[in-house]
Amino acid sequence: MGLNLTRKILKDHLVEGTMEIGEAISIKIDHTLTQDATGTMAYLEFETLGLDRVKAERSVSYVDHNMLQVDFKNPDDHRYLRSIAKKFGIHFSRPGNGICHQVSLERFDAPGKTLIGSDSHTPTGGGMGMIAIGAGGLDVALSMAGEPYTIKMPSVVNIRLTGKLQPFVSAKDVILYLLSKFDVKGGRGKVFEYTGPGIETLSVPQRATITNMGTELGLTTSLFPSDEITRDFLKKEKREDEWVELLPDTDAQYDEVVEVELSKIEPMVAKPHSPGNVVPISELEGKPVNQVVIGSCTNSSYTDLVTAAKMLKGHKIPESVGVGLLPGSRQIMNHLADEGWIGHFVMSGVRILESACGACIGMGFAPGSNEVSIRTFNRNFLGRSGTKSAEVYLTSPEVAAASAITGKFTDPRKSGIEPFTVEIPEEFIVDDSMIIPPLSPEEAKKIDIIRGPNIKPLPLKDALADTIDGEVLLKVGDDITTDHIMPAGAQILPLRSNIPEISKHVFKVVDPEFYNRAMEKKGGFIIGGDNYGQGSSREHAAIAPSYLGIKAVIVKSFARIHLANLINFGIIPFEFKNSDDFEKIEQGDKLEIGVSDIRKQPVIMKNIAKGQEYELVHTLTDKEIDVLEAGGKLQYVKKHS
């Protein structure tokens, strides 16, 4: 029986387990990625492991999220991260060099390798033919320490692409189309592996747009083969030596097949407040727009940005619209400058922002009250832009540019602009002078780690008691994101290295009183619906609740990365055996769960207030139960080393 590419790469890296769907497998990790907003915590955790140097083949630390620098906090984190990189043998991509996923694709990703990153969009690397997975910071720290990474063996779906995209329709529309079919829960426990003649029409950056936003489907990851197109991209990046051909077997087996005819896809738009809320542009045409932002790790390729520049060239942006450009990397910014495109953006009235996450994570360029913002990003969760009342829509660069010109939602095919193609340059401008390479072990010994006053040690939980009890502090519905649990943005993001401070903001967008209640009641429980914890990989959405005394989260189902983060920080992730029980529980109910032997399922939860009992289940492995019993993964690792 022929192997698909996902299974081939996983098999090559398998350390433990059998590759049966749903079974826990541990894989060897070749590359690691961190960004500053999750990285400071990941390195604080790595430090506690007591190693002299990272053991992964290639580890890279990026600074791209916390770049506003309104006071000492962000620059102190940057300085800490730079000293850590030098101390432990890590590449350091300096602030200004670009967004982690874009730079990783350009300078570090390599076909056939495995990559773990403390950012949920790490699967961007799947566009390069590697297994790239997003994880919590602690799991990345352990991968840097040489530990294998454990996932549940995913099922592999063959997304078979045929045909060719129409002019002004691009890779973003392909992934938005898939989101319209499968929504934000449809990919859980799966890998989307792209095959078929249509893939030959997509460049590596276009493939990476699709794999990047596969995260929004809830996928474990997404994967394209490594073919001549991959080779060509690596050659242009002066890294052809890292190319290997990697294809599925001709008779490869898949668990499902989905056919997608590229020529039938239209420009698509994700409406507020979910990337899964997708409609064709025709449903929105003519609606006034106040803001347009082009860029981010989803749409920052040369083709994306030159296409937008060509469309905007010679036009003046109407006064009712503010347009921003966030080029994903310094390399792309250099091309735009070198070839005169920056000038065209500026002449049309676009505000040039820096090569960073910026507006995507609410770090500046927020829309006004009730305003309509079109963004070429991957997420439009409530309040993420910094303005809770704003309506954020996600589109391709083509729709964004056409709408920026008219001041209303515009189908680029009807914009009057003649269709054109943008060829990737013969060679990219390769300049790694903003990447500090790892020091030799001897040089590294001389480095001191520099910490600022906002960098506080990580508080750890005690070992698990036999019974856990307390009140239901909050009851929420389906699809709660980690942006709901632990919001980001300019006020809160700089507190990522200070758990006691950041904990004050837990669930702030859902219930501003949550923190006070959790403190007053000395912790308790959270009740949730389906797909609890979707979105970002931020482990702060587990660490901060753990610090506030949350003992268990009881929901209908979890999203993958958040589930792992809860376990890592000692919060028990239970699911209702009978999802109707969700309805019976209210905020304020007093619950009690005997957890001395949670290996035996179902586990009984008593509702003292209502005199009821409910059956709970979980998907925990024996090792995960040991981790929970120790109070969390760091405590467990220390006990076993």
> For ligand SF4, which stretch binds (CB under 6 A), given 2-10, 14-22, 193-201, 356-364?
356-364
Mask: binding to ligand MIC, 93-132, rule CB under 6 A, as x and -?
--------------------------xxx-----------
Q: Which is nearer to ligand MIC, 307 or 537 (CB)?
A: 537
Give the DSSP per-residue string, 395-411: --HHHHHHHHHHTB---
Smallest gap from Cβ 263 to ligand MIC, in A, equals 31
H/E stretch holding 208 reads helix 204-214
Short-list 28, 52, 24, CA closest to 115: 28
SS3 category, 199:
helix
Angle at 521 between CA 520 and CA 522, to 5 degrees: 95
Smallest gap from Cβ 20 to ligand SF4, in A, equals 33
Q: Residues 355, 357, 359, 362: what is their CA dihedral angle, to the nearest 10 degrees? A: -150
Cis before residue 335, ω within 30 degrees of 0?
Answer: no
Regarding 65 and contact with ligand MIC (CB under 6 A), the answer is: yes
SS3 category, 436:
strand
Q: Is residue 551 within 8 Å of 502, Cβ to Cβ?
A: no
Near ligand MIC in 364-383, by CB under 6 A: 379
What gap in Å lies between CA 523 and CA 571, rounded to an integer?
11
Q: Which is nearer to ligand MIC, 136 or 470 (CB)?
A: 136
Compute CA distances 364 → 355, 475, 583, 627, whole Å. 13, 31, 40, 39
| Binding at 538: pick from ligand SF4, ligand MIC, none (beta carbon under 5-8 Å per type) | ligand MIC
Near ligand SF4 in 75-104, by CB under 6 A: 99
* Of positions 37, 268, 284, 374, contacts ligand MIC by CB under 6 A: 37
* Of positions 4, 6, 38, 307, contacts ligand MIC by CB under 6 A: 38
Where do runs of H (alpha helix) occur along 369-456? 397-406, 441-445
SS3 category, 601:
coil
- Orientation angle between helical segments 36-48 and 137-144, nearest 10 degrees: 50
Regarding 121 and contact with ligand SF4 (CB under 6 A), the answer is: yes
Regarding 31 and contact with ligand MIC (CB under 6 A), the answer is: no
- Orientation angle between helical segments 228-236 and 204-214, nearest 10 degrees: 100
Mask: binding to ligand SF4, 33-72, rule CB under 6 A, as x and -?
--------------------------------x-------
Regarding 629 and contact with ligand SF4 (CB under 6 A), the answer is: no
| Binding at 87: pick from ligand MIC, ligand SF4, none (beta carbon under 5-8 Å per type) | none
Mask: binding to ligand MIC, 458-497, rule CB under 6 A, as x and -?
------------------------------x---------
Regarding 384 and contact with ligand SF4 (CB under 6 A), the answer is: no
Regarding 361 and contact with ligand SF4 (CB under 6 A), the answer is: yes
Chain residues in the site for ligand SF4 (CB under 6 A)? 65, 99, 119, 121, 296-297, 357, 360-361, 377-378
Chain residues in the site for ligand MIC (CB under 6 A)? 37-38, 65, 119-121, 361, 379, 488, 535-538
